[in-house]
């Protein structure tokens, strides 16, 4: 986050030189302990910084934990990829093939990450010993974060334990709450945050939550809740109300050029409602996984086997490979969005030829890629630009200091979510169509596109689609490789083995249990009242 640095409360390491009593009676080295912290605005702000921190983790406890990768790899948009062994990052390979069990190595780091965030948010909410306008704002941001972490946990694991108090190590007898209890907690936190958070942020506050971020997140939570609660009209209407407030605020706009959102160095554009901040200012390395402040997706999902002479890109590790089904999904008049999300071997070879790059006789050595997952395509939204070379200005591993931000909620998502909730609630279909058309007009390319794209109404007529099918098309096309696809499928009941009919391994392995991740064996062994998977009774 801009202008936010890690706050590390140093532990005391006592190395006794002898066993004398004098050597044991030492003065504490720490300036602050938990007993005398949270007494000033600066101290509360430091705790808030720590509560934001887990949002940016792409690695924890020795494992990659990117939600973007998880959500795309589990869906029909992407395969895991990696090296030719088909065992590169085995935890991700298991997710991809629906072979994961409760001993998967990635589960516990993902789970712990979000509960660490919740614990830190709870400290900000409950611990301060002063009440000032700034502290109240910090606590509102902490409630946003607590809601954010609970929502992410729900999307991965289904109904999970809701934690709104500061737990001691002895408080391990947690059990799953019901879906409604989870969402009621998220709703309460976000409504409290909305009442306090500012509409806009100063340049020094970039990356923090504002009112629009809280309203957009609440609208998204209501939409998921409504969908999973048998198309609850009242909840869709609540979602629409919050999302409309974001639109009416006038704070956000669609960027004219969709492609520019993914350009090197483009951060926090006017379309960004909430964005995960990454930086190259810290010497990120393999010694402190939670301290990696670069965007690991860039290197993980870069083009494997790419020749060094490519004019724009450097080689990556070849994860999150787009499927042929995603490539073929885009309509013929929607190739602009396809080209922003996906690139092929032929396209990369054409780029090299046009650039006149010498020494690049083999543009891509495809033998370096996973033969079971590679279909000839790579993602392009997290491009591994050559411009990242030398990005490790303060040291660290150059693979871990590539600082592309990650869009958590874009304004285009607000528009499409509002369109969906209007249509599925008691709103106006004509208004929903107008909102879809704003996204579709921009998708035709930069500039004035009036008359140069098919409207939602024309799509319904030409393709024999319902309005909801148009919305689902738009969501997949607009956010391909950005991490919404899997959860859209789950919430709408479309996550079935039929999605993988061209992949016998995935379709054969898929079952109802795979809609949600199991809580890890490490966790259920300690908290023995937790169930590995959520049962149907919890979805009420």
At 277, is the secondary structure helix, strand, or coil?
Answer: coil
Confidence class of residue 3 from pLDDT cuts 50, 70 and 90? very low
**CB–CB of 337/258 below 8 Å?**
yes
Confidence class of residue 243 from pLDDT cuts 50, 70 and 90? very high
Give me the DSSP letters along 149-176: HHHHHHHHHSS-----S---TT-----P
pLDDT, mean of residues 188-212: 97
Confidence class of residue 32 from pLDDT cuts 50, 70 and 90? low
Residue 11 has pLDDT above 60, yes or no: no
Residue 222, pLDDT score: 98
Q: Indicate whether 368 belongs to any domain.
A: yes
- Bridge partners of 272, per DSSP, are 410
Largest CA distance in the chain: 88
Query: pLDDT tens for residues 124-160?
Result: 999 999 999 999 999 999 999 999 999 999 999 999 9
Q: Indicate whether 164 belongs to any domain.
A: no
Q: Indicate whether 336 belongs to any domain.
A: yes
Q: Indicate whether 519 belongs to any domain.
A: no
**CB–CB of 76/498 below 8 Å?**
no
pLDDT, mean of residues 485-502: 96
Confidence class of residue 453 from pLDDT cuts 50, 70 and 90? very high
pLDDT, mean of residues 167-182: 90
Q: Indicate whether 334 belongs to any domain.
A: yes
Residue 6 has pLDDT above 80, yes or no: no
**CB–CB of 436/470 below 8 Å?**
yes
Q: Indicate whether 233 belongs to any domain.
A: no
Give the integer Cα–Cα distance in Å for 215 and 205: 18
- Residue with the larger pLDDT of the pair 25 and 191: 191
Residue 169 has pLDDT above 80, yes or no: no
Q: Indicate whether 434 belongs to any domain.
A: no
Residue 27, pLDDT score: 47
Q: Indicate whether 129 belongs to any domain.
A: no
Q: Which residue, among 188, 247, 183, has the nearest Cα to 418 in the 3D structure? A: 247
**How many folded domains does the chain comprise?**
1
Domain enclosing residue 307, as ranges: 291-383
Residue 16 has pLDDT above 70, yes or no: no
């Amino acid at each position: 986050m801009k202008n936010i640095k890690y706050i590390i409360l140093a532990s005391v390491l006592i190395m006794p030189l002898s066993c004398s009593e004098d050597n044991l009676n030492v003065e504490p080295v720490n300036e602050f302990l938990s007993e005398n912290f949270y007494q000033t605005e600066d101290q509360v702000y430091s705790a808030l910084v720590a509560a934001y921190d887990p949002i940016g983790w792409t690695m924890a406890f020795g494992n990659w934990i990117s939600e973007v990768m998880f959500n795309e790899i589990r869906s029909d948009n992407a395969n895991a990829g990696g090296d030719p062994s088909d065992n590169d990052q085995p935890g991700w390979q298991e997710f991809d093939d629906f072979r994961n069990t409760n001993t998967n190595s990635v589960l516990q780091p993902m789970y712990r990450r979000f509960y660490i965030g919740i614990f830190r948010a709870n400290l900000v909410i409950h611990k301060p010993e002063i009440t000032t306008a700034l502290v109240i704002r910090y606590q509102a941001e902490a409630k946003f974060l607590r809601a954010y972490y609970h929502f992410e946990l729900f999307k991965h694991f289904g109904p999970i334990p809701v934690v709104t108090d500061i737990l001691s190590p002895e408080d391990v007898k947690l059990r799953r709450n019901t879906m409604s209890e989870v969402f009621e907690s998220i709703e309460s936190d976000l409504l409290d945050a909305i009442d306090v958070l500012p509409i806009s942020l100063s340049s020094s506050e970039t990356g923090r939550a504002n009112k629009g971020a809280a309203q957009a997140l609440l609208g998204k939570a209501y939409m998921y809740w409504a969908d999973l609660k048998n198309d609850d009209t009242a909840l869709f209407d609540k979602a629409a109300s919050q999302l409309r407030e974001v639109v009416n605020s006038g704070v956000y706009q669609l960027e004219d050029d969709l492609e520019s959102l993914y350009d090197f160095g483009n951060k926090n554009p006017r379309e960004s409602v909430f964005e995960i901040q990454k930086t190259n200012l810290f010497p990120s390395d393999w010694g402190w996984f939670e301290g990696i402040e670069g965007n690991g997706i860039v290197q993980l999902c870069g083009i494997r086997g790419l020749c060094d002479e490519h004019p724009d890109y450097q080689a990556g590790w070849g994860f999150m490979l787009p499927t042929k089904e995603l490539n073929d999904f885009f309509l013929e008049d929607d190739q602009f969005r396809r080209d922003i999300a996906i690139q092929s071997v032929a396209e990369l070879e054409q780029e090299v030829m046009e650039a006149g790059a010498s020494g690049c006789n083999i543009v891509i050595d495809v033998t370096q890629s996973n033969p079971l997952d590679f279909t000839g395509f790579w993602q392009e939204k997290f491009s591994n630009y050559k411009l990242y070379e030398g990005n490790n200005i303060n040291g660290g591993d150059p693979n871990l200091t590539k600082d592309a931000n990650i869009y958590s909620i874009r304004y285009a998502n607000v528009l499409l979510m509002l369109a969906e909730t209007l249509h599925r609630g008691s709103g106006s279909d004509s208004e929903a169509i107008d909102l879809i058309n704003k996204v579709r007009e921009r998708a035709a390319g930069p500039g004035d596109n009036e008359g140069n794209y098919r409207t939602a109404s024309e799509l319904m007529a030409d393709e024999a689609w319902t309005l909801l099918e148009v919305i689902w098309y738009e969501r997949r096309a607009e956010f391909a490789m950005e991490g919404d696809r899997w959860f859209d499928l789950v919430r709408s009941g479309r996550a079935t083995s039929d999605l993988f009919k061209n992949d016998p391994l995935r379709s054969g392995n898929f079952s109802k249990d795979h809609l949600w991740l199991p809580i890890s064996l490490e966790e259920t062994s300690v908290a023995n009242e937790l169930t590995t998977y959520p049962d149907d009774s919890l979805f009420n």
